[in-house]
Amino acid sequence: MKRLLVSLLIAATFPFTTIAAPIVIGYQTGVDPSKGAQADGVFDETIGQPLDWRRFNSGPEVVAALASGSIQIGNLGSSPFAAATSRKLPIVAFLVSTQIHGAEALVVRNASHINSYQDLKGKTLATPFVSTSHYSLLAALKHWGYKPGDVKIVNLNPPEIAAAWKRGDIDGAFVWSPALSLIEKDGKVLTDAKQVGEWGNPTFEVWVARKDFAEQHPEVLAKTAQVVLESFDHYAQHPENYGATSENAKKIAKLVGVSAPDIPGLLSGSVYPTYSQQLSPTFLGGGTATATKATAEFLVEQHRIPAVLPDYSPFISDKFVKLSRQP
């Protein structure tokens, strides 16, 4: 009833007409509560038409699809978002979907005999380049005092990391699930995104849209935000409904490609900002723009992008979260 009421209020603000072309949304395999709503078709029902969901292996792939126009909405991490907006790609972040903690981690092979960060010199580590995991890995190595070239870093997407791990081609990887869950079985965690964030380099994920689509269809972004935030509220209020044997865990696991018993731990590996937190100075009220600029400055320092913009606020908007609960 609550979802129906909010949907009707949004519809009253934005009279909705079905979009002629399919709405295409890019998603990744990171675990969050809204994946259950995705599996159940709640986004389609709330927006009012079938959606074309496209799965991507990394944020840079989502950015490329947004740039080409093959998708209109996507979910990506703070590092690819900073890289894309630094190049003035016309996209807008309209919701912070997660603060990444243990959901992304650096795992090293037991067989590589790496007992601490001091044993990493000369080793081969994999990560998807320009992803949040890549950013966290570079920040961790810098924190530990490594110089470029001390550690070999190879660019592999998550499925490639899983395959390289099985072959013994790499000594470790900074990545997210399902690859993370796989490599943890015969490896150990050296650090994770939460700890790297405490060292001064936090990572997060955002929902973004092409600016032209956002201007033409604000109701779609508002309803997307509505579903995501309702999912976050449900998880916060009823975490027991996401246990290892729950239907929610089974649905999310099937969608992202992990085992249901892994879901509770993966969900606890991130923080999901509520409606009021989204609009606070910590996130869409200014903090996300500040964090994006800090991320871009680090990427320039690491020679991943050429320059930093003076202000990233034009690429971030709280308008659509506000509209998701339009009185």
Q: What are the tens digits of pLDDT across the range 21-51?
A: 789 999 999 999 999 999 999 999 999 999 9
Q: Are strands 152-155 and 124-127 parallel, antiparallel or unpaired?
A: parallel
Per residue in 245-291, pLDDT tens?
Answer: 999 999 999 999 999 999 999 999 999 999 999 999 999 999 999 99
Q: How many whole angstroms from its chain centre is CA 18?
A: 28
State how far the Cα of 18 lies from the Cα of 20, in Å rounded to an integer.
6
Q: 300 Cβ partners below 8 Å, 6+ apart?
A: 306, 307, 308
Residue linked to tokens 């890549």: 134
Average model confidence (pLDDT) across the chain = 93
DSSP 316: B
- Gyration radius of the chain's alpha carbons: 19
Residue 111: is it exposed, middle or buried by C-beta count within 10 angstroms (0-12/13-18/19+)?
exposed
Which architecture characterizes domain 104-198 according to CATH?
A: 3-Layer(aba) Sandwich (3.40)
Return the domain boundaries, the chain: 2-99+203-323, 104-198
Residue 92: per-residue pLDDT: 98
Q: Inform me whether the pLDDT recorded for 12 exceeds 70.
A: no
The angle at the Cα of 122, spanning 155 to 119, to the nearest 5 degrees, equals 110
Residue 11: per-residue pLDDT: 42
Per residue in 189-213, pLDDT tens?
Answer: 999 999 999 999 999 999 999 999 9
Residue 202 has phi, psi (to 5 degrees) of: -70, 155
Asked if residue 121 lies in contact with residue 250, where contact means CB atoms within 8 angstroms, the answer is no
Per residue in 286-321, pLDDT tens?
Answer: 999 999 999 999 999 989 999 999 999 999 999 999
State how far the Cα of 247 lies from the Cα of 55, in Å rounded to an integer.
22
Tokens of 78: 């703070």
Q: Are strands 204-210 and 124-127 parallel, antiparallel or unpaired?
A: unpaired
Residue 253: per-residue pLDDT: 96
Residue 21: per-residue pLDDT: 77
State how far the Cα of 83 lies from the Cα of 79, in Å rounded to an integer.
6
Residue 320: per-residue pLDDT: 98
State how far the Cα of 301 lies from the Cα of 28, in Å rounded to an integer.
27
Which architecture characterizes domain 2-99+203-323 according to CATH?
A: 3-Layer(aba) Sandwich (3.40)
DSSP, residue by residue, 41-103: THHHHHHTS-EEEEE-SSHHHHHHHHHHTS-SEEEEEHHHHHHHHHTT-SEEEEEEEEEESTT
Sheet strand arrangement including 204-210: 51-55, 23-27, 73-77, 204-210, 91-100, 270-271
Could you tell me the CA-to-CA distances from 311 to 59, 211, 296 in Å, in that order?
A: 22, 17, 11
Fold match, 2-99+203-323 / 104-198: yes
> What length is written for the chain?
327
Q: Inform me whether the pLDDT recorded for 14 exceeds 70.
A: no
Q: 84 Cβ partners below 8 Å, 6+ apart?
A: 63, 66, 67, 76, 91
Find, among 42, 24, 25, the residue nearest to 33 by Cα: 42
Query: 147 pLDDT band (50/70/90 cuts)?
Result: very high
Residue 326: per-residue pLDDT: 78
Tokens of 183: 């490599």
